[in-house]
Structure 1
Amino acid sequence: MSSISKANDSKYLWLIGVLSVVIPIAVAVLIFKPSSLIEFEGKWVYLLPHINGVINTVTSIFLLIGVYFIKNGKRNLHELCMTVSFVLGSIFLVSYVVYHASVPSTTFGGEGVVRYVYFFLLLTHILLSIIVVPFVLMAIYQAWTKKLEKHKKTVKYTFPIWLYVSITGVIVYIMISPYYNF
């Protein structure tokens, strides 16, 4: 893919821009949808938050291992880890949407300081998960097209945000999991 022309380059950049807007809007619409819009039935849907917790945990691990590999000159293993992280993030997104399109939101029952901690983590997690989408897509595009200097500059900011989103996803899951109604 390193021989992408400028015309194709602009098409991919346009696609990254569109996806960066469409993904958060689609998630918001499906979460706050009218009940008749979409619905998945069955008890399997209630397993998705637990699966999502595992996905976020594994994503965090692969992100960290990927950075370790690139810092130690193992580019192929770095690429593999980052690809796995991206695929896991995509699976998480689909699973998250299916769950929230099917099941009413769970209310956090913690009180006192832990409640403030939970909502701080949740809000920063949500906001940064929206912000990181275009940067992750751009970093992947830059890597695939061998624009490595641009890639390095992009991931300098993208990696810590993506890692924060993955880790806080796990923490938020752990904090709210006692309140799930299964």
Structure 2
Amino acid sequence: MALRIRNHIPGLTAALTILSLAAVFAAVLGVIPQSSLPRAPEPLIELIPHINAIISTIAVMTILLGVRFIRHGSVRRHRAMMLTSVGLFIMFLILYLYKVILKGPAEFLGPDVIYQYIYMPTLAVHILLAIVCIPLLYYVALIALSRPIEAIYESRHKIVGRVAASLWLISFVLGNVVYVMLYVVY
């Protein structure tokens, strides 16, 4: 299995990226009908943004720990933290898409000047980085999961991983800034 994956990492990365982005855009654009999902109680749905803010904060910490561990040569701990980060991201995305399908994207209720000059640029950069991160994350994860540790050093995992981790961190942090503007400040 690992050998098959190893020989098709670019193609698998592209396919997984297309499927993931199609699901996100289908949810955000209202293509997926609400009736296709079971409906949780309203108070639980209302908690999703707050749960996702906690998940994002924990993900920032696990990514930072993963970077720290690999810098100190602890591959096993690095792998554990990065896989934890991927798991947190998947959990975040499932909850986010569930809420968006059922209720649509959150509406910004603050002043127009904040909306135009702070909220929208922050949201745009957050979304752009999230989109760019998806193929990078699939690529480094597929390399890491399909090769023995010693073979990973011969791949582009380190180079792509540095870029992916940096952009992923910024995206998660900006996502929390968006959360604060939507649910705390306004």
Q: Calculate the TM-score normalised by the size of structure 1.
A: 0.87
- Identity over aligned pairs, percent: 27
Q: Give the C-alpha shift of residue 76 in structure 1.
A: 1.3
RMSD value over aligned CA atoms? 2.1
Retained in 2: the 8 A contact 1:38–1:102? no
Describe the shift of the 1:67–1:84 C-alpha distance in structure 2 as closer, same or farther (beyond 3 A): same
Q: Gaps spanning 5+ residues in structure 1: where?
A: none
Aligned residues: 177
- Bigger mean CA offset, 70-79 vs 30-39: 30-39
Q: Give the C-alpha shift of residue 159 in structure 1.
A: 1.2
Distance 1:88 1:61 in 2: 11
Partner of residue 98, structure 1:
98
User: 2:36 is matched with which residue: 16, 35, 38?
Assistant: 38
Distance 2:12 2:97 in 1: 21
Distance 1:54 1:171 in 2: 12
Query: Which one-letter code corresponds to 1:148 in the other structure?
Result: Y
Partner of residue 13, structure 2:
16
Distance 1:36 1:91 in 2: 19
Q: Gaps spanning 5+ residues in structure 2: where?
A: none
Query: Which one-letter code corresponds to 2:182 in the other structure?
Result: I
1:29-53 deviation digits (Å, cap 9, x = unpaired): 1222255553424211111111111
1:90-120 deviation digits (Å, cap 9, x = unpaired): 1111111101001133221222653211111
Distance 1:171 1:74 in 2: 31
Note if 1:131 corresponds to 2:132: yes
Distance 2:102 2:112 in 1: 30
Distance 2:152 2:130 in 1: 24
Q: Calculate the TM-score normalised by the size of structure 2.
A: 0.85
